[in-house]
């Protein structure tokens, strides 16, 4: 039984009246999981929505000042599908501005790790992961471009599932990088994710890149299901503590009957520049529309000339957004485009085919993050390049559109650790099968269980 079925089978539903909202608001004032919270009936299972996904008439800003007070006139397809299945919308979750970040620190309200508030919650889907870690009954609609589901899921000790690119409609998702953005889910169990994934996936008349993965599922062999590849090149990037915890996981999996193999993937270090060039190039075009002209906050008089009006409005972007606009505009500029954007597209193609060769034979497994959960102050003092470098493990499947899942496998000084499993395109369910199997032998720990009976 998944916790959604459990919820509906409860004799007495959790009390979602004032007391619950007060508790949640109090906790939220410290952890900054939610940007806004809605009252819910308590009759239906609650879900939260990352703030870059549109909910009709609910402030949706992607954590950016430039969209302050923006009320979307329509629901994202995922939201529409959740509401049609009688899930209750609980609130919008905090994130790095437009999804630009690994730790959640590019938000005005710093998200904190629910296991220890001095530590980061991870990003960019920070609030989704925190909410999942503190609420007993809840599922989070999150989104990943380069690791925004895996990273916070690992740091907050929850399951974070990023489907095959195109499996879930992006209609209503505020674009970061359209060829990379994927809506996914976070929960306390793979069973819940399977239940909700079935509801939100599938073709949509409002997103032409959205496909039916059910019809495209590639038949798996038994070997593929039971083989796990470890990439040799990853070792050089891992902290010693992470290495030792991870080798414990590998032994456990071996004991569970998985064949563990090592393999070379020499292109690994090319994934970061490739990802950042493509994502910034696309992001800089996506952010071009925010001119303070038609929606969001208008902090200028229309009497200005166009250029100064646009420029002043666009000063509302945060530092990281400005950095990505400038770099993204640079890499698609006439004189350098073939050296950066053009080359990145080629390398991306190569990365996909090389990874696919491996994934045809089995899963790829690695720690989700190469480091232990950092303290907020330490993460804040990283340079942008150091920060981007920490995405080394989450970028490859994101850049290639492969489905992947981050699941908690251990705890270090009370803080959870996550591992990331990657599968071939359209083999999304094999990941959920794997995690369900893993959950039989693993005990989740949570500090908070708000909304439990």
Partner 1 sequence: MMQAIKIGLEIHVAIPTKTKLFCACAAYNEQEPNMSVCPICMGFPGSKPMLNAKALEIAKSVANALHSDMAKTVSFERKVYFYPDLPKSFQITQLSNPVSKGGFIELQGQNKVRIRRIQIEEDPAKILREEDYSLIDFNRSGRPLLEIVTEPDISGIEDLKEFMGEMKSILYYLGIDINAELKADVNISGQGERVEVKNVTGMKNMINAALFEIKRQEAARNSGTAISKETRSYDEAKMATMPMREKESDEEYGIIYEPDLGEYSIESIPVLEPVYASRIAKELAAKHSASEKLIMEQIMFDKNALQLINKFAGMYKINTVVSAIEALKKYNKVLDNAKFESLLMAISKNMFVSGKTIEAIEQGKAIEAGPEIDESLIDSAINSMLSENKGLLRDYGGNPKVFNFVIGQIAKKYNASPRYISTRLNILLPKFVAGKED
Q: Is 177 near partner 1 (CB under 8 A)?
A: yes
Give the x-and-dash track for 45-84 against partner 1 (CB under 8 A).
--------xx-----x-x----x--x-xxx-x--------
Q: Is 281 near partner 1 (CB under 8 A)?
A: yes
Of 135-143, 205-213, 402-410, 416-424, the segment contacting partner 1 by CB under 8 A is 205-213
Q: Is 205 near partner 1 (CB under 8 A)?
A: yes
The catalytic position among 50, 92, 191, 201 is 50
Total residues at the site for partner 1 (CB under 8 A)?
45
The catalytic position among 3, 63, 107, 124 is 124
447: tokens are 């500090």
From the list 112, 138, 324, 332, which residue makes contact with partner 1 (rule: CB under 8 A)?
A: 332
Q: Is 170 near partner 1 (CB under 8 A)?
A: yes
Q: At closest approach, how far in Å is the CB of 180 from partner 1?
A: 8
Q: Is 285 near partner 1 (CB under 8 A)?
A: yes
Q: Is 50 part of the annotated catalytic residue set?
A: yes
From the list 46, 172, 318, 397, which residue makes contact with partner 1 (rule: CB under 8 A)?
A: 172
Rounded Cα gap, residues 235 and 245, in angstroms: 13
Q: Is 294 near partner 1 (CB under 8 A)?
A: yes
Under 8 Å between Cβ of 63 and 35: yes
Give the x-and-dash track for 210-249 against partner 1 (CB under 8 A).
----------------------------------------
Q: Is 185 near partner 1 (CB under 8 A)?
A: no
Give the nearer residue to partner 1 in terms of CB position, either 339 or 445. 339
Q: Is 124 part of the annotated catalytic residue set?
A: yes
The catalytic position among 48, 125, 126, 148 is 148
Q: At closest approach, how far in Å is the CB of 349 from partner 1?
A: 13
What amino acid positions are annotated as catalytic residues? 50, 124, 148
What are the residues binding partner 1 (CB under 8 A)? 53-54, 60, 62, 67, 70, 72-74, 76, 170-175, 177-179, 205-209, 281-282, 284-285, 288-289, 291, 293-295, 302, 306-307, 310, 329, 332-334, 337, 341, 345
């Amino acid at each position: 039984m998944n916790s959604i079925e459990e919820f509906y089978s409860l004799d007495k539903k959790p009390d979602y009246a004032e007391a619950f909202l007060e508790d949640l608001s109090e906790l939220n004032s410290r952890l900054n999981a939610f940007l806004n919270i809605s009252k819910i009936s308590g009759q239906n299972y609650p879900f939260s929505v990352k703030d870059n996904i549109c909910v009709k008439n609910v402030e949706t800003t992607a954590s950016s000042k430039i969209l302050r007070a923006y009320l979307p006139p329509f629901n994202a397809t995922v939201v529409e599908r959740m509401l049609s299945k009688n899930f209750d919308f609980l609130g919008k979750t905090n994130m790095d501005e437009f999804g630009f970040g690994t730790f959640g620190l590019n938000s005005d309200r710093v998200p904190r790790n629910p296991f220890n508030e001095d530590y980061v919650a991870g990003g960019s889907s920070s609030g989704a992961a925190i909410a999942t870690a503190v609420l007993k009954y809840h599922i989070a609609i999150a989104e990943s471009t380069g690791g925004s589901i895996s990273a916070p899921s690992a740091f907050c000790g929850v399951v974070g599932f990023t489907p095959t690119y195109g499996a879930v409609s992006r209609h209503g998702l505020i674009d970061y990088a359209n060829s990379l953005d994927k809506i996914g889910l976070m929960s306390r169990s793979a069973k819940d994710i399977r239940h909700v994934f079935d509801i939100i996936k599938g073709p949509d008349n409002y997103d032409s890149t959205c496909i039916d993965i059910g019809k495209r599922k590639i038949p798996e062999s038994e070997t593929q299901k039971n083989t796990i590849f470890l990439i040799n090149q990853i070792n050089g990037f891992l902290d010693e503590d992470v290495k030792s915890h991870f080798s414990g996981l590998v032994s456990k999996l071996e004991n569970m009957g998985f064949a563990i193999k090592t393999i070379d993937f020499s292109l690994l270090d090319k994934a970061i520049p490739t990802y950042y060039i493509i994502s910034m190039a696309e992001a800089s075009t996506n952010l071009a529309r925010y001119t303070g002209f038609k929606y969001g906050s208008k902090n200028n008089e229309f009497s200005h000339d166009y250029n100064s009006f646009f420029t002043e409005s666009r000063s509302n972007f945060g530092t990281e957004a400005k950095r990505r606009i400038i770099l993204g505009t640079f890499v698609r500029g006439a004189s350098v485009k073939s050296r950066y954007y053009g080359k990145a597209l080629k390398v991306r193609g190569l990365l996909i085919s090389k990874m696919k060769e491996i994934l045809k034979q089995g899963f790829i497994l690695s720690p989700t993050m190469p480091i232990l959960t950092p303290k907020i102050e330490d993460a804040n003092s990283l340079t942008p390049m150091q920060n981007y470098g920490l995405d080394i493990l989450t970028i490859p499947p994101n850049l290639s559109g492969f489905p992947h899942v981050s699941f908690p496998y251990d705890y270090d000084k009370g803080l959870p650790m996550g591992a990331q499993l990657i599968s071939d395109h359209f083999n999304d369910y094999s990941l959920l099968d794997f995690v369900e199997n893993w959950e039989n032998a693993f005990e989740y720990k949570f500090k908070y269980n708000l909304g439990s009976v």
